[in-house]
Amino acid sequence: MHRTERFSLFIIFILFLFTVFTTGCSQSLTTEGSSTEIPTNATQEVSSEDPVTEEPSTEPSAKEPSEEEMPPEDTEVNYEVRLNAHRGYRMAGPDNSFPSFRAAGELGFWAIEADVHETADGHLVCIHDSTIDSTYNGTGAVADMTLEELRTYRIDNPGKGPDLSTFSDEDLQIPLFSDYLKICKEYGCLPFIEIKVNLKGDQLSAHIQKVIDEALACGFTEDEFMITSINMQHLRAARKLNDRIIVHKCIAEISDIQLMDNLNTAKDGEPPRAGIAINIQKLHIEENYDLAEYAVNLARKKGLLVCLRGANDDAQMQAMIDLQLDYIATDTYTPEMIGERFSIE
């Protein structure tokens, strides 16, 4: 081969090696640069000012768990609706009567409310008004009659209950307070006792002491019944007589929360010994519901038991359940109806 031709081949071989070398380095640098800028495990923070539309993934999605594989939902309901039968269960019998008290017990109410007056000869009886005119077939003030005289009259106003012909003669007599207490004891219901007398001073104290003594004599402890009244003087007198019973203000204003807090003698860690029923109704109206929620939270911060005035329609009852009141007074609903008709969370 001629010397010039051998030199040309040598130059071509050198250029070939240089090309191979430079191409390999370029690819290596590109690969290293890519892996540095976008690590495979990187996460990116997305600013709310710079929204990012995510590209659809080409990776297969994870398998959705079947119903059998899903963890069970927590269906436990911590809130218990506790119903107070106002004057007994009034759909089953006249107000403050043997039939309404017994029906409340049989239906499983948490508490039975009764109104208490005192006869001329010192017997405690259950009746709402100070006279018998609106509920019995006679006239006159309870305080002016002896028990024997009262027992000659019969209920002649069925109220919200069934026809009076369905009841016995004994059913329509005025119940003694002790009869009411025995029914509460038999069925495990809390006596919710409203003081109704128009007395003051020592006479009022003596009357309330008699109520407390009869409840204790029936086997209830001091924290197993409530003394309630619309009158703060009644509640102050009750608290002065006994610092362990539960006192309760009915048909109360928000301003009464502080007054009842003053009567709450519970110490730290003890259950409340005072409660309040705040008079806010028509809870289906948003402003009323918001006001009720505020008042309920305020009462709870003070450590009081709290409810609102009675629930006798679906909207009112559901709102009270939503507020998780300590108890709910009602004329119309039974414990069984609550589970069937209302949502409890």
- pLDDT tens digits, 79-125: 999 999 999 999 999 999 999 999 999 999 999 999 999 999 999 99
How many Cβ atoms from other residues are within 10 Å of residue 200's Cβ? 11
Weakest-pLDDT range from 18-32, 168-182, 186-200, 320-334: 18-32
Q: How many Å apart are CA 181 and CA 178, to the nearest integer?
A: 5
Residues facing residue 275 across a β-bridge: 248, 305
Weakest-pLDDT range from 10-24, 130-144, 208-222, 247-261: 10-24
Pick from 279, 283, 278: which is nearest to 315 by CA?
A: 283
At 53 the three-state DSSP class reads coil
Mean pLDDT of the chain: 85
H or E stretch including 317?
Answer: helix 314-322
Give yes or no for residue 336 having a pLDDT over 80. yes
Q: Report pLDDT digits (tens) over 15-25.
A: 555 454 444 43
The percentage of the chain sitting over the pLDDT mark of 90, rounded to a whole number, equals 77
Q: How many Å apart are CA 121 and CA 144, to the nearest integer?
A: 9
How high is the pLDDT of residue 121? 98
Q: How many Å apart are CA 96 and CA 175, to the nearest integer?
A: 8
Half-sphere exposure of 285 toward its Cβ, with a 13 Å CA cutoff? Answer: 7
How high is the pLDDT of residue 46? 30
Length of the chain: 345
Q: Report pLDDT digits (tens) over 275-298.
A: 999 999 999 999 999 999 999 999
Pick from 252, 229, 240: which is nearest to 302 by CA?
A: 252
Q: Which backbone phi and psi does 117 adopt, to 5 degrees?
A: -125, 170
H or E stretch including 330?
Answer: strand 328-330
How high is the pLDDT of residue 25? 38
Residue 79 contacts residue 107 (beta carbons within 8 Å): no
What domains, with CATH codes, occur in the chain?
Answer: 83-341 (3.20.20.190)
How high is the pLDDT of residue 28? 41
Give yes or no for residue 74 having a pLDDT over 50. no
Q: How many Å apart are CA 51 and CA 71, to the nearest integer?
A: 34
